[in-house]
Structure 1
Amino acid sequence: MTAHVDVRVPLDSATFRRAMGLFPTGVTLITRGSGAETEVITANSIVSVSLDPIMVLIGVRADGRIRPEIDDAGSFAINVLSAEQEELSAAFARRDRPRGRDAALLLGDEVDGAGNILVDGAVVGLECHVDVAHRAGDHVLFLARVAAVRTGDADKRPLVFHRGGYATVT
């Protein structure tokens, strides 16, 4: 029988972040717009919510640049990154990340039906239309219907984030 160890530590944001880092997550780029209007963030707070209707949930910082863009347009794209796209993930995780045409040049020129960039080489791209936005602490949760799916190379391994660093699925 395995012994259960109950170690309680004071709860603060750093402790919570370390704890959640033990849960491996996929790495995505959330895109809104294209060309000079491109906004992009790296995100791993993505949830598949429903199959009927097909829906997803994302969380973005309430005070972030992309949040008002999603609010105004009512759409975004989720791009699941491949293991080869670690540099893109890192570039769009920074506060001084590229935007506008500089961002678009890094991502490619394919756009979904709502005008959001679909990242070249991504494992999957989802065109999403917002149903509900809900403030949750320092984030806004967007519950969205998936209007279209673009699948990439099924043999590519997805990029994963675990214990504060990048990993891949083998």
Structure 2
Amino acid sequence: MKRALFLMGLALALAACSGHTVHRVEVDLLSFVPEGNRSGTLSLTQAEVRLPDDPAGQEIQVPGAEALEDGQIALQVGLQNTGNSAADLTLEVRAGPQGDTDLYDDAGGDFAVKTASLTLNRGQAATLDGSLAIGPGDRLYNLIKTGAFRLGARVRVNSGDQVQYTLTQAEVVLRLRLFNLIANP
């Protein structure tokens, strides 16, 4: 009898805890960018690089996305001005619906999630940070809740003659409360 009461109490305690369980979904976007494309040179002849290089970006599917609590994108690009003049650079993080074939054309539902810029003097190095939090009410949050979306980034040289770039971090971390999917009686 004591054992049955113990097991029943344990089952009730586990049921109560499960409603508060938050699951993390981590997508390492760096793994979708070929090793050879993670670094290179930007110049006046190749003034832009897209990560990944597909204009449609990277498709991300999130099963149970309707239980999304919040999340974050961590994206960093290391830069070194190896040219003879100052360089102005821009990092743009873009998102769009699953069916969008070009995240960079401002058509089909794609949009800029974050933009960051900096100026590097000759020989100077710095990091462009495209990291951001995702929360209720954000346009990206609403897009993720559809269950499938596309994500991409581009680095552009607006002026200057030569800059080395290295993609050092690219990941999406989402927090889902999957037990919210169970209807309450």
Would you say same fold, with TM above 0.5? no
TM-score (norm. length: structure 1): 0.27
State the structure with bigger RCO (CA 8 A, min sep 6), 1 or 2: 2
TM-score (norm. length: structure 2): 0.26
